[in-house]
Structure formats: C-alpha cells, structure tokens
Structure 1
Amino acid sequence: MGWLSGKSRWLRGTDMALIILDRDGVINQDSDDYVKSLAEWIPIPGSIEAIAKLSQAGYSIAIATNQSGLGRGYFQQSDLDAMHQRLVALVEAAGGSIDHIAYCPHAPDDGCACRKPASGLIDTIEQALGVSAKGSYMVGDSLRDLQAGVSKGSLPVLVRTGKGERTLAKGDSLLDQAQVYDSLEAFSTALLAKECC
C-alpha cells in the first residue's frame, strides 16, 4: 500500500536517481516487539539529515517497509500514519523530501505479494513515481530487504544498524554483492562524496 507520493526530482537528464530505504532499523530504531506508536518511533542519529542531504543532491527517496504489526493488530492505521507524518515532517524540516512511502500491512501467512522479500512494495514505488527501480539503491538491515531490491535490479546496501549485524552474521551469499555501511548516514556520506569527486 502506498501512503505518500510527492513531486519527483530528476537527475542526469531523464534518469531518475532513486534510493529505496527500509524503515525500521535503517531510519528509526527497531524493536523485536514492533514499533507500535509515535512515542516508540525514534530516529537513528543522523538518519533524518542523511535523507535530507540525499534529497537535496537530487535523489528521489522512497521507503519500502513491512508493517505486519498492523495486520497482527498491534497498532492501528492512525498510529502508522502518525509515524510517517513525523518522518516526513522531520525530513522536510531538515530541507529534504520523501517521494513515496510504500508499506505492507499483512502478516507473514497472509500470502500477499507485497511483503518483502517479495517485490510488491518496489512495484508500487515504480508505479507511483513512473520509473524503474533497476540501478537504484536498496538500503536495508535484513536479507529480505536486499532480496526484494535485487529481484528488481537494485543495488543492495546493508547497514549495520537495526538487525544489520545479525544479518551479517548469517553469512548469506547475497551479502557478497552488498555494500556494507555502519549506518544510513555513513552510506549517504560515502555516496555523496563519490558523486562529488
């Protein structure tokens, strides 16, 4: 399901430079008990500023997040909306913007096509922004994030925040393809330095 779409920015002629982010563990602190309320939604230091800087540099920012706590009844739609409104407001206050938020509300056994590692959320982002995710960056803290991105031709980026260290410990072969950074902030700093120089 899509929550928000905004005006797209374009970079390098007609090619959109797209970055797709997982939410929990990448942008905000994760919890094994689910992030269930606005009070529990706590940004990881530097993540909001990182999104703003990437946005300012011309990247379109989309979020693809599994939110099965909604389907499990752990929180309500209004709670999820409040978290996303806070996220958007913080990024805008930092001088950036988010182009689209796509989320899957389903529980794992619902058999949906949107829950990562399925590609449905990225399909939604492509449709909302009118672009292909091929060649974009998919930034996540779990294998399912990277699997969803790679299935659409995105470049996998793993951050060590959230479940990132646990993911690295699994030693999956997909990790051989991934760029690994300490945080979203570290990824954005490295990417923008590469773009500049």
Structure 2
Amino acid sequence: MRHKYFHFFSIIFLVLTQFAFITALLLEHKNIFTVIFLTTLITTLIIYTYIKFFRIKEVDFEPFYVMIFVIAGALLTNYLHLFTSLNSVLAAALIGTIASFLPNVNKKSQVLQNIPNAMYCSCFVGMSQKHVAIDYSFIIIAGIIAGIFYMFSKNLFHGVGGKLGTLAFGSVVISSLLLLIIS
C-alpha cells in the first residue's frame, strides 16, 4: 500500500513541476488574468491527461544504488560544463554517451544495465548554470532529490518523452527553494 503512495506523490510532484514551469513562462506576459486563465486551463488538461491515460498496473522501484549514478552523472556533467571548454549540452551529451556504453562491459550485470538512464537523468541536473548551482553541494542535493524521484517513478510514463528532464528540472527547483528557505 505504501508503494501506491510513493507513486501518487511522484505524479503530484510532476504535476506541480509542470504547473510551476508553465506559470513561470506565462508570467512573462505581465497580464495576471491571462496568466491565471492559461495556467488553470493547462493544469486542468495535464491533470485530466494523467487521470485518463496513466494507470499504474504494477508498482516497482529502481534499486537504491542508482542514486549513486544519478549523483555521479550530475557532478561529472557540472564539472565538465564549468571547468572545461564544453558547453552544458556537449557535457551532458558526453556523459550520456559514455554511460550508454557501460552495459556492454558486462551484458549480464544488472547494475551496469541501470546506469545509462540514471546518469542521463542526472546530466540535466548537471547542466545547471553557475548562478543556479552555486557550488557542488547544490548539485549533490539536486542529484539526491532527482535520484529519489527517479527510483520511485520506474513504472510511470512509459513511452512518454521528457520524464528524465522533468525529474531533473523538478529536483533543481526543489533544491533552489530549499536554498532560498535556508538562507
């Protein structure tokens, strides 16, 4: 029964992340009535889509050790982005490409099979700009949050694009809010 609560929380997290992103985009219009109307309309459509099309048939989680790969991928991508001549997209592409070849080292190893998606999710966290990710502790916290949601969302949104980016975006938003609250 607890597993269903984790999945429910993951879906709520994704809806709130999309709501925050859409609201931030619409706030650029400066017309509060347009923002309220469009945000309400889009959020209603997103919730309707989730209820109508995404049914959880079985509850399953990624193993706990994927958290290590999520954090490592975020740190490596962030390091390459900030301290080499690679921009954030190329740094993420390099880490994602290297991670995609790791399962070929030992095709029977379940640990190696779980690395590519976990590290690719974290590449989006590592792409954060320096004014957002002020130091490595921010990247580690965002990586932990992304890892938690990555573990809980194993059976969510199969065949839907954007899951890994949305998880990473949400973890960076939550980390930024935590940093704002603490300071």
Give the structure with the larger helix fraction. Answer: 2
Whichever of the two has the greater Rg, that structure is 2
TM-score, normalised with respect to structure 2: 0.28
Give the structure with the larger strand fraction. Answer: 1
TM-score, normalised with respect to structure 1: 0.27
